[in-house]
Amino acid sequence: MAYRNLEIAHRGAIRTITVHRPDKLNALNRETLNELTLAFAQASQDDDVRVVVLAGSGEKAFVAGADIAEMNGYTPVQAQAFSRAGQRLMTSIERLGKPVIARIQGFALGGGMELAMACHLRVASEKATFGQPEINLGLIPGFGGTQRLLRLAGRGAALELCLTGANISARRAYELGIVTRVVAPESLDDVVSALADQLAAAAPLAAAGILDAVLQGGETSIDQGLEFETQGFALAFSTDDMREGTTAFLEKRKAVFQGR
């Protein structure tokens, strides 16, 4: 389908979803949230898609935040619905069952940082800037920023970033565990493409199991998490991909996974 605020591209098993509102620095309004939710639902249901890359158009911003002009007129009831729509989107990305890579250049602020944190891997340009500046607007993060930042970077970093509203560099975000890789701006596309290729060639059912074990098990006790891992490990033995992977290893060849 045609989107007003997104661009969709395909390269083999890799689908790239680009937020395209360059005149608004790719800010998230309600329509864009709805389009992203639909786009990720379609990616989830398409068996030919093994990896999703999420990007923002232009060089100035990944996503500069929520659309303040639209938010300014919200009632509390409308604000609650907007927050819940954003949180549903972020949760759907996190629980997609397929690896999602955020390609981050320029600003990733407010809702943009929350969008990036919902992705599984985050590759940032050295020129990227991160922050949760909602307090400067008399607000708190509404798309999961307090919770995912807490889990990624710890309580101290979450409180400092949310309470001060200060921006941080990509290097500092990496030090805090918010970003998984920081690369030179001219290398960003090559690094993201190589990572996406690597993940697309991996066993998709095993990737889904790893995502489940880390994301779901990470919210439980260590004993429950270990049991979750054991069940996922055992389930993998029922797949053709496991037979292919182990056989290819023994035969000293590259495995070809079919997702079965």
CATH of the domain at 246: 1.10.12
Q: Say if 255 falls within a structural domain.
A: no
H/E stretch holding 248: helix 240-250
Q: Given the residues 114, 160, 227, 251, select the one marked as catalytic.
A: 114
- Are 161 and 233 found together in one domain? no
Residue 117 tokens, joined: 């944190």
- Are 65 and 165 found together in one domain? yes
- Are 163 and 227 found together in one domain? no
Per DSSP, the chain holds a count of helices (H) and strands (E) of 11, 10
**CATH code of 94's domain:** 3.90.226.10
Q: Given the residues 7, 94, 134, 175, select the one marked as catalytic.
A: 134
**70 has catalytic annotation:** no
**Structure confidence at residue 8 (pLDDT):** 97
Q: Say if 211 falls within a structural domain.
A: yes
Helix (H, G, I), strand (E, B) or coil at 9: strand
Number of separate domains in the chain: 2
- Are 191 and 210 found together in one domain? no
> Could you tell me if 93 and 40 are in contact, meaning their C-beta atoms sit under 8 angstroms apart?
yes
- Are 78 and 124 found together in one domain? yes
Q: Say if 256 falls within a structural domain.
A: no
- Are 130 and 189 found together in one domain? yes
Domain of 238 in residue numbering reads as 202-250
- Are 56 and 153 found together in one domain? yes
- The mean pLDDT value of the chain amounts to 95
Q: Say if 1 falls within a structural domain.
A: no
Lowest mean pLDDT among 10-19, 123-132, 251-260: 251-260
**Structure confidence at residue 195 (pLDDT):** 98
Q: Quote the percentage of the chain above a pLDDT of 70.
A: 100
**160 has catalytic annotation:** no
Q: Say if 141 falls within a structural domain.
A: yes
pTM of the complete model:
0.93
Phi then psi for residue 172, to 5 deg, are -65, -40
Q: Say if 27 falls within a structural domain.
A: yes
Q: Say if 257 falls within a structural domain.
A: no
6 vs 217, residue with greater confidence? 6
- Are 67 and 98 found together in one domain? yes
Q: Tens digit of pLDDT for each residue in 78-97?
A: 999 999 999 999 999 999 99
Q: Say if 170 falls within a structural domain.
A: yes
- Are 148 and 40 found together in one domain? yes
Nearest Cα to Cα of residue 101 among 139, 141, 137, 49: 49
- Are 188 and 98 found together in one domain? yes
Maximum Cα–Cα distance across the chain = 64
- Are 71 and 175 found together in one domain? yes
What confidence tier does 65 reach under pLDDT thresholds 50, 70, 90?
A: very high
Look at residues 161, 183, 200 and tell me which one is the last residue of a structural domain. Answer: 200
- Are 109 and 226 found together in one domain? no
